[in-house]
Amino acid sequence: MPSPPVSLGSTAGQRRACSSAGFTRCGGTARAASRAPRTRAAAARCAARESQTSPKAHRHPRRQGGDDDIVSDSQQRYILTISCPDRTGIVAAVAGFLADHDAFITESSHFGDARTQRFFMRTVFRIGAATPGLDQFAQRFSRVAERFNMVWGLHDAQRRERVLILVSKLDHCLNDLLYRYRTGDLRVDIPAIVSNHPELEPLAEWHGIPFHHLPITPTTKPQQEAAILALVHDLEIDLVVLARYMQVLTPATCDRLRGRCINIHHSFLPGFKGPRPYHQAHDLGVKLIGATAHYVVADLDAGPIIEQAVERVDHSFGPEEMSRVGRDIENVVLARAVHWHVEHRVLLNNGRTIVFR
As annotated, the active-site residues are: 301
Q: In what order do the strands lie in the sheet with 211-213?
A: 211-213, 188-195, 161-167, 239-242, 261-265, 288-295, 305-312
Q: Could you give the CA distance from residue 47 to residue 29 in angstroms, rounded to a whole number?
A: 36
Q: Could you give the CA distance from residue 11 to residue 146 in angstroms, rounded to a whole number?
A: 18
Neighbours of 170 (CB within 10 A): 19
* Among 172, 175, 179, 176, residue whose Cα is nearest residue 323: 172
Please report which residue ranges of the chain form alpha helices under DSSP H: 11-16, 40-53, 90-100, 134-148, 172-183, 201-206, 221-234, 251-256, 277-284, 319-342
Question: Are the CB atoms for 322 and 349 separated by under 8 Å?
Answer: no
Q: What is the CA radius of gyration of the chain?
A: 21
| SS3 assignment, position 213 | strand
Question: Are the CB atoms for 241 and 334 separated by under 8 Å?
Answer: yes
Q: In what order do the strands lie in the sheet with 151-156?
A: 29-31, 24-26, 151-156, 77-85, 118-127, 103-113
Q: Could you give the CA distance from residue 145 to residue 350 in angstroms, rounded to a whole number?
A: 20
Residues sharing a CB contact under 8 Å with residue 276, sequence separation 6 or more, in sequence order: none
Q: Is the peptide bond before 275 cis (omega within 30 degrees of 0)?
A: no
